[in-house]
Amino acid sequence: MARIPVFARLGALASLALPVPRVAAAAQRCYATPSSMTPPAWSAPAHQKQTAPRPGLTSVNEIELPGPASRFDYQSFDSSTGRIYINHMDAGNTLVFDASAGRVVGEIANVPRATGVLAVPAHHQVYVSAAGAHSVMIADDRTLAITHRIAGIRFPDGLAYAADADKIFVSDETGAADFVIDPTSGTKRSRIPLGGEAGNSHYDPVSRCILVAVQTRNQLVAIDPVSEKIVARYDVPGSDHPHGFVVDESDRLAFVSCEGNAALIVVDLRTMSAVQRLTVADDPDVLAWDPGLRRLYVAAESGVLSSFWLDGATLRPAGDVRAPHAHTVAVDPRTHRVYLPLENVDGRPLLRVYQPHR
């Protein structure tokens, strides 16, 4: 596929005022005890009472995407630019979609078997897990050129940025480890063995811990980003091969999808106990959380996008959308629109955009 031109206006993004990363030496160590990942002094913010939404999603747009009719994987929304980075996994590139303009404005090329992706605007960087090259690629978000290649990672997948420690963590799925990357030098710092296959990695700014799903042990594992060591392990009862998850920071909940038994487990981060179990479509993969509407989206390889709303601390179904290979989803928290790239609709890749009901 010919490289998509990067529009001249993208260069203007270099002038955006971005937060300066904190140095690791000033970071506080993470809070993780055998029974909690919530500091005792933390208090929950007030939420406006939610009412049950009308079930379902309304389709608002369909956008033909460039490239072959092949598999997509993870996406990353950059709130500083309104871009969504969409990994076109089997095409070996990352599409750059402008959510405000409603169109593709560029691509990061030469990222074989692109799996995980993460925008880190504090460094003007986009991280792409290029599993086909056993590497993580770092691209400059102003030019979309690759600036660093971090090799020697067996199957890089999920990515997380620990802002307080200013470090990147990458799940090495089949390598059973998390790797730590220094975003300033673009080099590996350490490898943290997990004792099982790594699912997604996420940073929880309340506990200041990296949380990793260890799918072959049915666990969530807490890593201290400062010491780069495991500090706690938590079993997830009712789970079978937990891979994807997202963290609802303000409600102190983790939503964990399980590929082995099509389960969605809600974990209370105050007690690290599983407080709810729901059934979703087969082969759930990517999740997206909209904190403004308190909506959760679970995309399944079997072709179903399930939506849920959070009623207090209880997750309730809010309707499904059926679409072929609907296994990756992103949400724009500004507009609450939901983005669902599909690999093959009438022989071409397509991005469907939905609006949730209130």
pLDDT for the residue numbered 27: 67
> Which residues does the chain have with pLDDT short of 50?
1-25
On whether the 57-356 domain is CATH 3.40.640.10, my answer is: no
pLDDT for the residue numbered 358: 85
Report the length, in residues, of the chain. 358
Nearest-10 Cα torsion for 9, 66, 103, 89:
-90
Cα 289 to the center of its chain, rounded Å = 9
Contacts of 135 (CB under 8 A, 6+ apart): 149, 150, 151, 152, 153, 156
Q: Where in the chain are the domains?
A: 57-356
Residue 92 three-state SS = coil
Q: Report DSSP letters for 219-281, one per residue.
A: EEEEEETTTTEEEEEEE-TT-SSEEEEEEETTTTEEEEEETTTTEEEEEETTTTEEEEEEE--
Q: What is the pTM of this model?
A: 0.91
pLDDT for the residue numbered 10: 37
Of 162, 195, 194, 199, nearest to 181 (Cα)?
162
User: What span, in angstroms and rounded, lies between the C-alpha atoms of 6 and 64?
Assistant: 18
Phi and psi dihedrals of 131, rounded to 5?
-60, -30
